[in-house]
Structure 1
Amino acid sequence: MRMDRQTYQKIYSSLNNFGDVFRLSEEYSRPEGMLATILNQKIVKMTRFKHRRIYSREKELFLRWTQGRSILELAEYTFFPPTLMASLILKNCDMSRKSINWLFKHLDCIENRRLRKEIGKALDADYFFSPRAHEMQCKKGEMGEGIIQKWLDDRNISYCTEAEIRAQGDGKTPDFVLADPICIEDHMIRWIESKALFGDDLEHKHYEKKQFEEYADIFGEGMVVYWYGYLEDLQSEGEGYLVKDHSFFGEYKEQTDELFNYLVYW
C-alpha cells in the first residue's frame, strides 16, 4: 500500500501515541498496523536524537529517583521511553548492560523490591523498547518471511535462505537468494529482502546503504518488500531492485491480514 508524501506527512506529524493510531486509521482509511509501524519508527527516530541529551543528565535523573521519583515518572518527565529510563537507573546502580538486559527478562531476580516493581511497570508501559516489543517486532519479521517462503514454495522456485547461506560461512546476504532468476515486471529477480517496516526516506536510505546496494552488486537485481507500505515516490528505480508491499502477495490475504493485525497494541 503506497502512500503519497502529503498524506504521510500529515499522519506522521499527528502520530504521538497509540490513541492516535486508531483515530487516524479511521480518518485516513489506513490499516492500524501500518500506522502503528509508522509511530514505532517515529518514536525510535526521536529517541536516537534525544539519547545523548538524556544521558548527559543521568546523575541528575538518578538523584531524582533516589529522592523518590519513580522510573515511569522520570520517563514521562523527560519524554523518554520507560525501558531506556530503567536502563539508565540500573546503570547508575553499577550494573552492566549485559546484566540489565538479563534482569529485564528475569524480573523476579531483582532483589530490591522497589526496583522490581518500578521496572515491571516501566516494561509493561513501553510499546517500543521493552523485551516484549522487541519480540513482537521479531515475530512480525518472521511472519513476513514466512509469506515470501510460501509464495516461492507454491511456485516451485528454488532458493536458499539467509540462515542457510550464513551457515556456509558467507557474509551479508538477503533473506532469500534464488537458485535461478525469475522475471517480475521485466526485471530478472535474483534475491528478495523482507522488511516488516514502512518504507519512509530514513529507513530506506539506511538499508539501501547497509544492505540493498551491496546485495545488488553481489547477486544482481532483487526485490525489497516493505510489508507495511512505502512512500510512492521512494527512490528505487534503477538502483538494482524493485520495491513492493503486501499487495504483491494478494493471494495470501489471510496471512497478510494476520501480519497487519498482529498485536498492534497490548
Structure 2
Amino acid sequence: MDTSITTAKKKILSSEEYARICQFINTYQGGLAIDCELEMVNRIFTDVEPLALICILQSELFNKSRGQHWKHEQRSKHLLKTYEDQCHQYHDNGLIIRMACVEGMTPIALCRLLLQEKYELKQRSQISRLLKQPHLIKDSCLGANVQQCVYSDNQEGPITDLRRRIVGEEYELKLKQLATEAGIHFYDEHDLRRMGYDKTPDIKIILPFLYKGCIVNWIESKANFGDPKSHMWNIQQQLQSYCNRFGPGIIIYWFGYQEETSQLPDNNIGITVLTDFPAREDLVFMELTNPAPIDDKASVQIV
C-alpha cells in the first residue's frame, strides 16, 4: 500500500514569489520557452502549481513579444535573408528554431515574419492558414521548418491555440459538474444567450446562495493564473458588467492567483476571487419548502 503523502502545490503567490518567477522568465537564456518551462517546473519553483508557472510564462512572453514586435518587424528583410543564406548550409528542419533562440523570439512569431516578408502577405489570416497547413508553402524547406516550429512552440500556433481552448472548455465543464453536484440550479452561457443577454458569465445561479456570508449570483471560470493586471482587465471587460446586471458573484482562477488580486479595491463591487469551487461547508442555500396544510403560501427557508 502506498503511504506517501502528496504535498499540495502552492496556488496563491505572494508579490515577492511572483516577482522572482517573472524575473527568472525575463532573464532566461537557455533556449525555447518549453526549456524555460521545464526548468521552472522541475528544478527552480518545485513548490508552485505547475499550471500557474505555465500561465505566468505565457503572460510574460506575450507582453515581451508585444513590446518588441515592431523592432522585429523592422528587421524582417534581414531575418529572411539570414534564413535563406543559411538554409542552403543546413539541411535539417531546425534552422528557424535556432534563429528564434538567438533573436529572443518564439518560433511561430519568427515564422510569421518570414512568411509575411517572403510572400508579401498583408492579412494575418493568410499567414495563419499557412501555419495550419504548412504543406501549402511553396518553398518545401521553409514549409518543413514551419511545421517543426508548429510542433515545438508551446506559446503560439494552431496546436497551442487548440490546447488552450480545450483546457478552457474542460474547466467550464468542471464548474458545471461541481455546481450540479452541490445542488445548485443555474443557467449556462447558451441559456442566457437564448434569453437575449450578450455578456454572460459561465453560470448564472437561478436561486442565489451565500458563500461565507456573501450573496452569489454568478460564477466565472478562468483556466489561467490571476495576476492583478489580467484580473483588472477581466473586471473591465466582463466582471463589472456581470455585477451591474446580476449582482455579486465569484471568479475562479483554477491555476491560482497573486495574493494582491483578491485584495484589489475594484473587487468591492461584488467580486470574490477563488482558486477552486467553494467548499460545501461554506455554502448556505435557500430552498422553497412545501406549503403547510393550513397555509396556501410557500415559505422561504435557509438550510
- Shorter-chain TM-score bucket reads 0.7 to 0.9
Is the 1:216–1:222 contact (alpha carbons within 8 Å) kept by the matching residues of 2? yes
Larger Rg: 2
* RMSD value, Cα: 2.1
User: How far apart, CA to CA, are the structure 2 residues paired with 1:67 and 1:249?
Assistant: 61
Which letter maps to 2:120?
A: D
- Identify which range, 38-47 or 7-16, moves more after superposition: 7-16
Separation of aligned partners in 2, 1:206 and 1:89: 32
Partner of 2:112: 87
> Structure 1 74/242 Cα, relative in aligned 2: closer, same or farther at 3 Å?
same
Instruction: Tell me the distance in 2 between the aligned counterparts of 1:250 and 1:99.
Output: 50
Letter in 1 for 2:216: I
* 8 A Cα contact 1:151 1:249, kept in partner: no
Which of the numbers 145, 168, 190 marks the counterpart of 2:217? 190
> How far did 1:250 drift?
9.3
Tell me the equivalent position of 2:268. Answer: 238
Contact 2:111 2:146 in 1 (8 A): yes
- Which residue number corresponds to residue 7 of structure 1? 17
Q: Deviations over 1:100-157 (max 9, x none)?
A: 2122222233332112111012112211012111112112211211121011111332
Q: Which residue of 1 aligns with 2:145?
A: 118
Q: 1:40 and 2:58 equivalent?
A: yes
**Aligned-pair identity (%):** 24
Tell me if structure 2 keeps the 8 A contact 1:178–1:191: yes
Pairing 1:51–2:69 present: yes
Distance 1:32 1:231, change over 3 A: same
Instruction: Tell whether the 8 Å contact from 2:219 to 2:250 is kept in structure 1 after alignment.
Output: yes
Alignment of 1:151-230 (within 5 A): 151-230=178-257
1:11-22 map, 5 Å: 11-15=21-25, 16=28, 17-18=36-37, 19-22=39-42
Q: 1:223 to 1:247 in 2, by over 3 A?
A: closer
Q: Report whether the alignment pairs 1:63 with 2:81.
A: yes
Superposition TM-score, scaled by structure 2 size: 0.76
Structure 1 residue ranges (4+ consecutive) displaced by more than 3 angstroms after TM superposition? 247-251
Rounded to whole Å, the distance in 2 between the matches of 1:49 and 1:168 is 41
Residue 237 of structure 1 and its aligned partner are, at CA, apart by 4.2
Alpha-carbon deviations, 1:45-92, whole Å to 9, x = none? 211211222112222222323333642233223211111111111111
Q: Give the structure 2 partner of residue 78 of structure 1.
A: 103
Structure 1 unmatched runs, 5+: 252-266
Aligned residues: 249
Q: Secondary structure at the match of 1:30?
A: coil
**Superposition map of 1:121-136 within 5 A:** 121-136=148-163
Whole-angstrom CA distance in 2 between matches of 1:168 and 1:59 = 52
Partner Cα separation in structure 2 for residue 185 and residue 210 of structure 1: 26
Q: Output the CA distance in 2 between the equivalents of 1:207 and 1:42.
A: 17
Deviations 1:17-67 (CA, angstroms, capped at 9, x unpaired): 1222321232xx122222122212211121121122211222222232333
Note if contact 1:11-1:24 (Cα within 8 Å) is conserved in structure 2: no
| Structure richer in helix, relative to its length | 1
In the TM superposition, what is the alpha-carbon distance from 1:168 to its structure 2 partner?
4.5
Deviates more, 1:92-101 or 1:110-119: 92-101
Indicate the SS of the match to 1:192: strand
